[in-house]
Structure 1
Amino acid sequence: MKDTNLKLGQKPRARDLGLPFPGTTGPLNAITDVPGVAVGFCTLTDPARNMRTGVTAILPRPGMVPMPVWAGQYSLNGNGEMTGTHWIHDAGYFVGPICITNTHGVGAVHTGAVRWMIDTYADYFQNHHAWAMPVVAETYDGVLNDINALHVQPEHAIAALNAASTGPVAEGSTGGGNGMICYEFKGGTGTSSRLIEIGGQSYTVAALVQANHGIRPWLTILGRPVGQLMPEDSLHATEMGSIIVIVATDAPLSGLSLRQVAKRAAIGIGRGGTPGGNNSGDIFMAFSTANAGPVPQFAPAVVTKQELNGEVLDPLYLASVEAVEEAIVNAMVAGEDVATFKPQGVICRAINHDRLRGIFGGSEAR
């Protein structure tokens, strides 16, 4: 059975293969279903230089004026980096973009993101004592990319930020996801969204992941032991990667509630089978685009904000879990076969669409 609903040249996603994920998605089934959120990529691929890496950029509040983004952060296992989180824990917000890259590219991307903020918010930085603290996260791509060559430079972060748009989000080997492996299949960038209703009001909850975690025997999709049913072409016996999860919503939430949302990403990745291995940096952040307003330095002494009652957040927690779970599978479904850099001469395989479809009772494509 062919994917007849796809546009010419468009990659299938997990639902196109008949995988029965629960929940109602937004129109794009992507983090950009949250109004105003933009995503951009700078993808760096050059086999002659053993280069397969890049930068993913998320703009929670695109525009020329800096505004706080309410946020919470949680680390299931801290073997990795996400900058700016000390302030998020203390203040419950951040200002500026989120970027995701490889482990050795964090410094360069941070420099590029700071430059982009200074240029974009020019009046703010020129006329006030402003400081830039972007969020930059990473996962390790040294199996498919010569990570020690430091291919990622500040200008690549700027390019990803300038490319950010509110439309469909390209998945798989895009941006920072270019060199990533997930459950020993080709992984990378994945996204998904959910529509929910709380108190008679509709909200969107969505996730974007950079999936680089897990080993094949662990992989479970919607309760099926996919990794055990598809054991061929495994790459390594122990986990060597990580996962970054960004959850976005337009629901009005406090920093404390957003930390609770970020925690639910652990359940979302756990549904895929990972126990959160020692070598995996499982690092998550959630943000809300509600309650837009000036940076605190320019706000009045008394600030009034809306906030959902914690007692009614269960639908939002469930939506977060479901969006994360589906985003990871979307990242794998978008993969393609890629030659490894270390060791050389091995192929990191994409997950087989026909076999995956068959596991869930569908017909194989012809």
Structure 2
Amino acid sequence: MNRQKIRELGVKIGALPTGEKNCITDVRSVLVGHSTIKEKLAGTDYACTGVTAILPHEGNIFQQKVIANSYTINGFGKTTGLVQVEELGQLESPIMLTNTFSVPAVAEGTLHYLLRENSDIGDTTGTVNIVVGECNDSYLNSIRQLNVTKEHAIQAIRNASQDRVEEGAVGGGTGMVCFGFKGGIGSSSRIVSSNEKCYTLGCLVQANFGKKEEFPYLRYGLKNLENNSTASKQPPGSIIIVIATDAPLDARQLKRIAKRASVGLSRVGSNIHNGSGDIVIAFSNAQTIPHNSSDVLETLTFLRDDSECMNLLFQAAAEATEEAILNALTKATTTKGRNGRKVEQLPYNFK
């Protein structure tokens, strides 16, 4: 069955228009790729996991860095690379998403990819900062088996394209659970226009959080929402939110944008539990910063904080995050995992 996005089911989220594909790859030059692992293992074990790669542009990311920042809504997470992103305000690697125990393998695979692309790393220049985000998919995935390898990370990067993003139980979202239903990867975008300026903001989420009773399903026109899945008894999990835009923003402004993603997260019902790793990574590819330059000064252009565009970008971040999470739910399919467990897809019982 070809599952649909929330908007295709007649539910409109927010007021701003979406991009043509209604996903993060509406932002020019942004690419997304997946590596999905679904495999029956010995006994009751099951590999139900994967990797998702978000590339900020189609060029050499290390040599042409983009401006970036992050925002931690709740820090129960095991990400890598965000300390340097916060310090320098730059992103120089793909953003990789996977399960908690696979962060080291994905970081290693991404490092191998970057070393092949850049002979100067660790030789004639410094090292490279790799960004990996994670959520715990151990309800469905036999996480102790360390099913993700460095090759899966490289494959996700190699698979990256500017096509419409594949959503649901794919890539890093393969084993994720959201509000007791099948969660995973979701994406959405918004177009912002003001004073003859037009920008795109896109969002991609790895949704793995929430209890069924927290989901405000009536808000979205769902009725008689029943879910007998034992996943409803699973502790609340986490979410990684990636925001991309082609609006010219500095690192401080990107953190302000990232904070607004928490508005969209709260609208779908998250109470941001103690054990939830809710982390936002935001970047702008409007301008790149060369790794090597003989210039002492770097000249860049940024939006004014008091411009109408900034307010619209705040709104776009909230709306796109809310819709991306819902798309993760409506696109995901019923998935079987370890110990005979099964997590049901969100039913399409709309009014």
The interval holding the TM-score normalised by the smaller chain is over 0.9
Matched, 1:67 2:58: no
Aligned with 1:230 (options 225, 229, 254): 225
Cα distance 1:236–1:222, how it changes in 2: closer, same or farther (>3 A)?
closer
SS for the counterpart of 1:32 is: helix
Contact 1:140/1:212, CA 8 A, preserved across alignment: yes
Backbone CA RMSD of aligned residues: 1.8
Equivalent residue, structure 2, for 1:45: 38
User: Does residue 272 of the first structure (1) align with residue 272 of the second (2)?
Assistant: no
Report the Cα offset of residue 247 of structure 1: 0.3
Instruction: Indicate which of 187, 190, 208 corresponds to 1:191.
Output: 187
| Separation of aligned partners in 2, 1:127 and 1:82 | 26
Residues 62-103 of structure 1, C-alpha deviation per residue, up to 9 Å, x if partnerless? 224621111111111111122111111111112121100000
Q: Does 1:110 align with 2:107?
A: yes
Q: What is the letter of the counterpart of residue 20 of structure 1?
A: K
Secondary structure (helix, strand or coil) at the match of 1:210 reads strand
Residue 303 of structure 1: how far off its partner (Å): 1.1
Corresponding residue for 1:261? 257
One-letter amino acid matched to 1:19: V
TM-score, structure 2 as length reference: 0.93
1:12 counterpart residue number: 4
What stretches of structure 1 of length at least 5 have no aligned partner? 1-8, 359-366
Structure 1 position 108, deviation (Å): 0.5
- The residue that corresponds to 1:78 in the other structure is 75
The count of corresponding residues between Structure 1 and Structure 2 is 343
**Counterpart-to-counterpart distance in 1, 2:319 and 2:294:** 36
Q: 1:142 aligns with which of 123, 138, 158?
A: 138
**Where does residue 129 of structure 2 map in the other structure?**
133
Please point out which of 95, 108, 116 is paired with 1:119.
116
Matched with 1:58 is 54
Q: 1:330 aligns with which of 312, 327, 331?
A: 327
Question: Secondary structure at 2:288's aligned position in 1?
Answer: coil
**Which residue in the other structure is 2:159 paired with?**
163
Match of 2:302 in 1: 307
Does 1:154 pair with 2:150? yes
SS of equivalent residue, structure 2 residue 240: strand
Structure 2 counterpart of 1:17, one-letter code: L
- Go from structure 1 to structure 2 and tell me whether the alpha carbon gap of 1:108 and 1:316 turns closer, same or farther (over 3 Å shift): same
Alpha carbons 1:21, 1:222 under 8 Å: kept: no
> Following the alignment from structure 1 to structure 2, what is the Cα–Cα distance between the partners of residues 149 and 196?
45
CA distance in 2, matches of 1:127, 1:281: 35
Structure 2 unmatched ranges of 5 or more: none
Could you say which residue in structure 1 is the equivalent of 2:336?
Answer: 339
- C-alpha distance in 2 between matches for 1:191 and 1:324: 8
Deviations 1:145-165 (A, max 9, x none): 000000011111001001110
